[in-house]
Amino acid sequence: MGKLDGKITIVTGATSGIGRRTVEVFVAEGAKVLATGRRAELGQSLEASLGKDNCVFFKADATSEADVKAMFDACLSKWGRLDCLFNNAGGPAPVGGIETIPVEGFDAAMATLVRSVMLGMKHAAPIMMKQGSGSIINNGSIAGRRAGYSTSMIYGAAKAAVNHLTVCAAMQLGEKNVRCNSISPGGIATGIFAKALGVEAGKADSYAEAAAKNMASLQPIPRAGRTDDIAKAAVFLASDDSTFINGHDLVVDGGVVGGRLWTPHQQGVQAMRQAFGVSEG
């Protein structure tokens, strides 16, 4: 018996990375998934691999209200209800100092990272409130909690907006037994890092393993995050195991935002002892 048996779900940004893996894990746990994204070929391959009874791909741009409304209509037409929405769609944002940020790039990033989440919640809320149940999960980031954890300060600001919008919506929707939570990933090895640094989207995912090697030592847990880490957190928040969790940001980062790493800190203490001529007592 799966943790999501009988659950009807929508996952945005489902053609690659965290979104694609989440769809696969949701289906393995018994859910029916409407998977959305802009890259039809990748979405159709996901649908084919999981079977149309379990996963239907719907081509949609998560920043377009017309597309978002259409994906909810498609879900209701197919299955008649909606138990979980994972607002996962996202992408890179402009890098560089604040004095270099192009307005067009800023606006595009806010649309991709924040407007998409708002639109998903806007159109999921009436369905779930009418049902008297549902779980909305928004993909945040540790970059929204601490500065310096993204190649882009605009990405960090956008994810901070996502995290807080999640709480604001949770305070409203919780009164109708609809839960709204976020997941804040740490360094998860996907193609988004390559995209942020200028690699074209079609090739970015091939650099995920290189990203994993670079991120292995950034947190106490000595490995990079995996897409499974986020997918399984989403399963928990989508399932009935989390029915009293609302307005929470679930950090999945191997401990990186906990503080300074132990070993470098101790090395610094030892260096200071040597500078002071003090031996360990």
List, by residue number, the catalytic residues. Answer: 155
Query: Do 111 and 220 meet the contact criterion of CB atoms below 8 Å apart?
Result: no
Which amino acid type is present at position 183?
I
Q: Is 129 exposed, middle or buried (0-12, 13-18, 19+ CB in 10 A)?
A: middle
Between the CA atoms of 69, 191, 165 and 81, what dihedral angle is there, to the nearest 10 degrees?
40
Neighbours of 97 (CB within 10 A): 7
